[in-house]
Amino acid sequence: MGLYILRRLGFIFLTLFLASVIIFIVTQFLPGDVARIILGQFATEAAIDNLREELGLNQPAYRQYLNWAGGFIRGDWGDSLVSRMPVRPIVMQRLGNSIMLAGLALCIYVPLGIVLGVIAALKQNKLPDQLISGISMAFVGLPEFVSGLLLITFLAIGAGWFPANSSIDPDAKFFESLPYLILPAVTVSLTGLGYVARMTRSGTIDVLGSDYTRAAELKGLPGRQVLVRHVLRNSLLPTVTIVAMGIGWLLGGLIVTEAVYGYPGLGRLLVYGIQRQDLPIIQAASMIVVAAYSFSNLAADIIYGLLNPRIRVGG
């Protein structure tokens, strides 16, 4: 097991390295010029040239990459090209915000999705199942800018229960931020809920039809005990994967939701970086997102193994 984890960690670092190279290459092809963006359309060529020199943009591309990578490994993530402020505190602050939102969303949609999925499985093809499956799939298909704006219109501006905008102060503590987190978390949960419910439903249906469940029922165990001790433990295996994949998505992929609510998460920071071609910000933020995806996948595989000894790998 230890060896397996070590090998997986090695792959994660390889992934991070490749991702950083790819991102760097892609940014080289973005239209526009960061010096022009900083100094504006009307600054003179001489001023633009001076700034490019100052920012090290006149160096060959591979040198720029090595400078960045060398610093990054040593923990120096560089300064933002636009604001000249150190990138690391900015990215870390945004990561903290993203974790708050991801945490709340997971707390909402994972338990709810599991409960709904189990209910749907138990009432397979009956009305509750059809309702749950139909509605949750509809939410999955609803784009976040639509569901988000609907929630804002009815719950924030109409009913006045929640703030319409979630631009929390960067220094705000979790409990101060909580009211601002609810609508974005619900928006995200509407999408996540459907996946979890469907995965749980199909997993549970499989297990319900299995021999060991029938055996447990036949030996006279009460239905509730069969469900908790025999069915759930096995039927939730695929759900674990879906939840783990969700963590990466929640940390870096909520670009639309964060934009609709103005929530200062990693996704919006990434967009901001790309719009301004602020390479150190793009690189640092995407490294965090790639790392989040990789590690949550690793965690999923390990948990999977713990829950299901049959696929446990290595000694």
The smaller minimum CB distance to another protein, of residues 274 and 307, is found at 274
The smaller minimum CB distance to another protein, of residues 87 and 227, is found at 87
- Work out whether 202 is an interface residue with another protein (CB under 8 A): no
Q: Which of 167, 212, 223, 311 binds another protein (CB under 8 A)?
A: 167
- Work out whether 96 is an interface residue with another protein (CB under 8 A): no
Q: Which of 5, 12, 39, 221 binds another protein (CB under 8 A)?
A: 39
By CB under 8 A, the count of residues binding another protein is 51
User: What is the C-alpha to C-alpha distance for residues 168 and 268, in angstroms, rounded to an integer?
Assistant: 13
Q: 3-state class of 81 per DSSP?
A: coil
Stretch that binds another protein, among 41-49, 110-118, 201-209, 245-253 (CB under 8 A): 41-49
- Work out whether 44 is an interface residue with another protein (CB under 8 A): yes
Q: Which of 90, 186, 236, 300 binds another protein (CB under 8 A)?
A: 90
Stretch that binds another protein, among 34-42, 65-73, 134-142, 239-247 (CB under 8 A): 34-42
Q: CB of 117 within 8 A of CB of 111?
A: no
Stretch that binds another protein, among 82-90, 124-132, 196-204, 231-239 (CB under 8 A): 82-90
- Chain residues that interact with another protein, rule: CB under 8 A: 31-33, 36-48, 50, 80, 82-85, 90, 94, 145, 149, 152, 156-157, 163-165, 167, 169-171, 173-176, 259-262, 264, 269, 271-272, 275-276, 281
